[in-house]
Amino acid sequence: MGSGCFDMRSFAAFLLASSIAVASPALALGPVAFGPSLSATGWQDFTFRGRQPSQFSAVNTDTLRVTSDNSGSLIWRPLPADFANGNTAQWRWRVDEAVPPTDLSDRKADDRAIALYFLFADDDSAVGDPPKSLRSAMMSGRALVYVWGGNSAPGTVIRSPSMLGRGQLVVMQPADGPTGQWVSESVDLRADFRRAFGREPGPLMGIGVSADTDNTGTQGDARLADLVID
């Protein structure tokens, strides 16, 4: 067949490849940055009335430091629509100054050196319309929270005492876990959500990090690094 003739087989192959490309979501979503500064990478402070805020700072592009002194607050950021179908997450974290073991189900004792939040919308309407505040995100979604703290065994799921049924805690490392060394974590976000809430998760729309030491009146020092969502 000459070069100027129409090749039906090539055209069919092109259509098939195009349909696959359109139908298949991106698989590798990538890392979540903290630097050069938290504000430059979209992170926002969320504080509580009457409570001294904890301190968050970017050590470098991939690493966050969190310190607390009889304090409690969090930072959060909405995620681009590309992250809506995120399934898994990996990160490293370490605690250099630990918080005493407490009962995370008790609102007056739920201190933690560090916790990592994944915010899922209740339905698909959130895709392409990121939440403008953490309050609006929580009103239209649910938080799966991985915690380094408390007195429960790793893997324990605990209903958050302060999120009105819209937050579930998953203990990754108890408060008396290893200090002064990096620990790597890898989680199946959607399987953990189903286990925690008993329902399917909606789109992933945001993430957050918190530290809380005001109930025990203690100090905490922790780091989070190399956070990747796939």
Phi first, then psi, for residue 14 (nearest 5°) are -65, -45
Yes or no: say if 86 and 189 are a contact pair by the CB < 8 Å rule. Answer: yes
What pLDDT is attached to residue 126?
62
pLDDT at 128: 64
Residue 163 backbone phi and psi in degrees, to 5: -115, 15
Report the predicted TM-score, pTM, of the whole model to 2 decimal places: 0.86
Query: HSE of 175 in the Cβ direction (CA atoms, 13 Å)?
Result: 23
Asked if residues 174 and 165 have their Cβ atoms less than 8 Å apart, the reply is no
* E runs forming strands in 4-153: 30-31, 44-46, 55-60, 63-69, 72-78, 88-97, 112-121, 141-148
**The pLDDT of residue 140:** 86
Query: Over its length of 230 residues, how does the chain's per-residue pLDDT go in tens digits?
Result: 444 433 434 333 333 333 333 333 333 478 999 999 999 999 999 999 999 999 999 999 999 999 999 999 999 999 988 999 999 999 999 999 999 999 999 999 999 999 999 999 998 876 767 788 888 888 889 999 999 999 999 999 999 999 999 999 999 999 999 999 999 999 999 999 999 999 999 999 999 999 999 999 999 999 999 999 99
Tokens of 216: 């025990």
Give pLDDT, residue 29: 72
CATH number corresponding to 28-229: 2.60.120
Domain borders along the chain are 28-229
pLDDT at 19: 35
